[in-house]
């Protein structure tokens, strides 16, 4: 394809083609989701943000407003299907529907499978797997009639191999499920000739609250961050912006990134 033909096929190959379009970032009340929401707001997108902590979402909206970004905070508990549906209904009624879905909400508990509880497994499966799938289903309802969309599922290096001896068996299983579900959804979309793109981003160590929650120990999390220079939420946001800036005919399916020095 010549450069002229490429430009004709996709007159706005950069992220600017998403200006004023609607993104939903799940799990935006801290960490990676917070960083992605700010980056998309700076890129001129309308950004709906969700998570359980209402006060954190309100703080995020205040920062977004400082960048003259447009935001919508919708508190929701993603272990409840009705909360998820209500998030999409609210976005449809305020802004007409979602064009970009960042499926980021997630958690991990550090437990041996031999001793772990069904309660923590259920929470991980509900949020990391079922909520992510329901969000894809709802988002596609909006993207299909619009004839455009990008889904980005946040997986993990633990979604590609099991971190042995680290007591993250069930977490790793949920992230392997994200990989399988993303590929299955890609297959369904491709079979229909859909222009909707879908990708996973699989980060290694990112400095967020995730680790203190997973270990139930803030000091251990800080020790981990002191060992190597961890990725920051902004590094993941850069990858999201890169995916959104690719031309319409280019579909990147998976990006894995680790900090230099990570050995697993
Ligand atoms: N940090 C890492 O090293 C790393 C590496 C690879 C992958 N990841 C993945 O990256 C994603 C973001 O994690 P993070 O590192 O940014 O951790 P984080 O700061 O703990 O953020 C997790 C987000 O998920 C939301 N969430 C958790 N349970 C929820 C529920 N029941 N309902 C609604 N929202 C819920 C949290 O919001 P509320 O608490 O307000 O509900 C929060 O906004 C996760 O999927 C994680 O597995 C992280």
Residue among 35, 55, 171, 208 whose CB has most ligand 1 atoms within 8 A, to mutate: 208
CATH topology for 17-204+231-257? Rossmann fold (3.40.50)
Give the atom of ligand 1 at the shortest distance from the alpha carbon of 107.
47
Which residues line the pocket of ligand 1, CB cutoff 6 A? 27-33, 51-53, 56, 76-79, 104-108, 127, 154, 156, 203, 205-206, 208-210, 213
Residue ID of nearest Cα to ligand 1 atom 7: 156
- Helix, coil or strand: residue 103: strand
pTM, two decimal places? 0.97
Instruction: Report the distance separating Cα 83 and Cα 207, nearest Å.
Output: 28
Residue ID of nearest Cα to ligand 1 atom 4: 206
What is the model's pLDDT at position 12? 63
Residue 253 alpha carbon to ligand 1 centre in Å = 21
What is the model's pLDDT at position 68? 81
Query: 25 pairs with which residues across the strands?
Result: 49, 102
For 111, phi then psi, to 5°, come to: -155, 140
What is the model's pLDDT at position 67? 82
What is the model's pLDDT at position 10? 65
Residue ID of nearest Cα to ligand 1 atom 43: 27
Give, to the nearest 10 degrees, the angle between helix 31-42 and helix 54-66. Answer: 30
Residue 1 alpha carbon to ligand 1 centre in Å = 41
Q: Which residues are catalytic?
A: 171
Cβ 49 vs Cβ 60: under 8 Å? yes
Residue 29 alpha carbon to ligand 1 centre in Å = 8
Report residue 34 as tokens: 């917070």
Give the atom of ligand 1 at the shortest distance from the alpha carbon of 76.
33
Residue 31 alpha carbon to ligand 1 centre in Å = 7
Within 26-146, where are the H helices? 31-42, 54-66, 81-95, 118-124, 132-146
Question: What residues of the chain score a pLDDT lower than 70?
Answer: 1-12
Question: Would you kindly state where each structural domain of the chain is located, as residue ranges?
Answer: 17-204+231-257
What is the model's pLDDT at position 165? 86
Cβ-proximal residues to 34 (8 Å cutoff; 6+ apart), any chain:
28, 60, 233
Residue ID of nearest Cα to ligand 1 atom 20: 210
The contacts found for 79-86 with CB under 8 angstroms, 24 or more apart, are 79/122, 79/123, 79/126, 79/127, 79/131, 81/130, 81/134, 84/131, 84/134, 84/135, 84/138, 85/134, 85/138
* Digit-coded pLDDT (tens) for 98-147: 999 999 999 999 999 999 999 999 999 999 999 999 999 999 999 999 99
User: How many CB atoms sit inside 10 A of residue 2's CB?
Assistant: 7
What is the model's pLDDT at position 232? 98
Give the atom of ligand 1 at the shortest distance from the alpha carbon of 155.
7
């Amino acid at each position: 394809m010549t450069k002229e033909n490429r430009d004709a096929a996709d007159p706005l190959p950069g992220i600017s083609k998403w200006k004023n379009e609607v993104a939903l970032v799940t799990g935006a009340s801290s960490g990676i989701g917070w960083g992605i929401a700010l980056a998309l707001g700076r890129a001129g997108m309308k950004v709906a943000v969700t998570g359980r902590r209402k006060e954190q979402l309100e703080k995020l909206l205040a920062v977004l407003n400082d960048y003259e970004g447009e935001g919508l905070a919708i508190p929701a508990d993603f272990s409840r299907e009705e909360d998820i549906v209500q998030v999409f209904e609210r976005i449809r009624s305020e802004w007409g529907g979602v064009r970009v879905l960042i499926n980021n909400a997630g958690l991990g508990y550090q437990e041996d499978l031999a001793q772990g509880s069904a309660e923590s497994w259920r929470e991980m499966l509900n949020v990391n797997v079922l909520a992510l799938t329901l969000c894809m289903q709802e988002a596609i309802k909006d993207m299909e009639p619009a004839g455009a969309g990008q889904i980005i599922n946040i997986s993990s290096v633990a979604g590609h191999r099991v971190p042995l001896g680290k007591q993250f068996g069930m977490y790793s299983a949920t992230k392997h499920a994200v990989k399988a579900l993303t590929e299955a959804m890609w297959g369904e979309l491709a079979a229909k000739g859909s222009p909707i793109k879908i990708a996973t981003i699989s980060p290694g160590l990112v400095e967020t609250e995730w680790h203190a929650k997973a270990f139930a120990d803030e000091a251990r999390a800080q020790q981990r961050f002191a060992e190597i220079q961890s990725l920051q939420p902004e590094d993941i946001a850069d990858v999201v912006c890169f995916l959104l800036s690719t031309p319409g005919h280019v579909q990147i399916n998976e990006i894995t990134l680790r900090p230099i020095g990570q050995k697993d």
